[in-house]
């Protein structure tokens, strides 16, 4: 499968690692009432994901010039984050102060943005030839 690249797999592995650490930290800080540290770990998690997305997304674009506007990375992020979050509750690793409804609400809202991104992705694909930007082919 051409769209499943090494860069996407490395991104996914690092994302899983980061998501598990984030879930541990989030549950720990919530359970201990350290609400200010929840914001700190969320900010660190955001920066970590932004960096790995930027690095591996850029490498992926260089090695495979598909005009996919980052949709593959967005989809993988959505599946992994929500899967890990739901598994966290199923394995009962969550804090007593966490509710699964927050995970479901996040997934529903995120789904809306994922659908918008998919529509943008389909439009971008129409503006390309075999997934490669037309301007890059005819320069």
64-75 exposure pattern, b = at least 16 Cβ within 10 A, e = fewer:
bebbbebbbbbb
Q: Which two tokens stand for residue 8?
A: 């996407």
Residue 1, pLDDT > 50, answer no
Q: What is the CA radius of gyration of the chain?
A: 18
In the chain, DSSP assigns E strands to: 128-129, 132-133
Return the SS3 of 95.
coil
What pLDDT does 9 receive? 94
What pLDDT does 126 receive? 75
pLDDT (average), residues 84-108? 95
The full set of domain ranges for the chain reads 6-133
Chain segment 37-86, per-residue pLDDT in tens:
999 999 999 999 999 999 998 898 887 766 676 888 999 999 999 999 99
What pLDDT does 46 receive? 96
What percentage of the chain has pLDDT greater than the value 70? 86
Residue 4, pLDDT > 60, answer yes
Count of CB atoms within 10 A of residue 82's CB?
17
pLDDT (average), residues 1-13? 85
pLDDT (average), residues 11-27? 97
């Amino acid at each position: 499968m051409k769209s499943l690249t090494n860069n996407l797999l490395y991104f996914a592995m690092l994302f899983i690692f980061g998501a598990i650490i984030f879930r541990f930290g989030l549950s720990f800080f919530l359970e201990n009432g350290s609400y200010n540290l929840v914001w700190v770990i969320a900010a660190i998690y955001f920066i970590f994901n932004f960096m790995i997305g930027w690095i591996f997304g850029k490498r992926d674009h260089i090695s495979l010039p598909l005009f996919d506007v980052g949709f593959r990375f967005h989809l993988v992020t959505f599946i992994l984050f929500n899967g890990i979050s739901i598994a966290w509750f199923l394995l009962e690793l969550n804090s007593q102060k966490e509710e699964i409804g927050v995970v479901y609400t996040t997934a529903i809202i995120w789904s809306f943005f994922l659908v918008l991104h998919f529509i943008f992705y389909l439009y971008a694909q129409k503006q390309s030839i075999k997934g490669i930007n037309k301007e890059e082919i005819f320069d």
